[in-house]
Amino acid sequence: MDRLSNTIRPYAWGSTTAIPELLGVEPTGEPQAEMWMGAHPGAPSRLTRGPLNEVIAADPEAELGPEAVAKFGPRLPFLLKLLAAGAPLSLQVHPDLTQAKEGFEDEEQRGIPIDAPHRNYKDANHKPELICALTPFDGLCGFRDPDDAARLLEGLDVNSLKPYVDLLHAHPEEAALREVLTAVLTADRDEMAATVTEAAAAAERIGGHYEPYALIARDYPGDPGVIAAMLLNHVRLQPGEALFLGAGVPHAYLNGLGVEIMANSDNVLRCGLTPKHVDVPELLRIVRFQATDPGVLRPEADPGGEEVYETPIDEFRLSRFSLPEGSAPRDLMARTPQILLCTAGTVRTGELELAPGESVFVPAGEKTEISGNGTLFRATVVA
């Protein structure tokens, strides 16, 4: 077991205060969006033995376990993060595994450099992800029922939105969502900017359940993603609640601090609320046009007190321990690698004491004991 030294990513949408407050350090005044824990080559965590990706590459079976290597190859199949959104992230979807492999092969054959800004598929993997709130956390997840979306747009009383309202009422669910999202994202930019400006002013005036969209429009004035966002479910997670985001589900995080875990991939298709590359045709090909319940997850506790966030994929498994003062130590061992992250109080893992924001890497098969008075998240692999 080894303590991790982790990189904080300064993306523009990041909160300037949330991660520093958790770590108990002074803010720098710059955005601190994500703290990465894992072996991603872009910002691998460091151990006393060296960068985690190099440590794993030197002996994959010893670090990951033979079962994980057989199932996912000789690399850590997940990335764990602290994510602190101070402004909306891009409106986006992720491909499934087949789409990712086909898209990656196509862009490779076309000779698009892997680091090109307009490249969609950086790798051949899918990117399911889970976000667990540490503070109240706002996000958008999955399509609303078309009639609900129509009522939301209609309530703004903006003439240029009425054709979208009519489409949402007139067609079967999949066709309605497809036609309206396509129309919004492919409309004349100047005309759509005027529509967004009028809609944002109405949302600001009305408030209530329109407030999230007024706030989005402040950060992205005139962006068609503001109207696209109104087609999606708005979700407010309370601390401890989580969302699972599978392939083809449109989503965006808006505000809050959480623990995020994802399969190790950089494949993102964006359609708005971002200065990054937007590929509307490819996103429309990947999106699943069906209304969904966001499906807020609450952890299920086992007899040992481990609270597990159940998901349908094997690249990662996220769970949580809430350790009360004076509680008996608990043994943790897995046949696969683990990253343990403290988010509150003080937690002892083996001989190491963790404060909020501190983490350790536990190689496969290594036993460790946890104790203390605090909250500990456990990330591992299902194999």
Catalytic entry in 75, 270, 317, 320: 270
Residue 289 has φ and ψ, to the nearest 5°, of -85, 75
Do the beta carbons of residue 134 and residue 22 sit within 8 Å?
yes
Give catalytic status of residue 320 as yes or no.
Answer: no
Q: Is 355 exposed, middle or buried (CB count within 10 Å of its CB: 0-12, 13-18, 19+)?
A: middle
Cα 163 from Cα 10, distance rounded (Å): 40
Burial class (CB in 10 A: 0-12, 13-18, 19+), 328: exposed
CA angle 123–253–199, rounded 5-degree value: 120
Catalytic site positions: 270
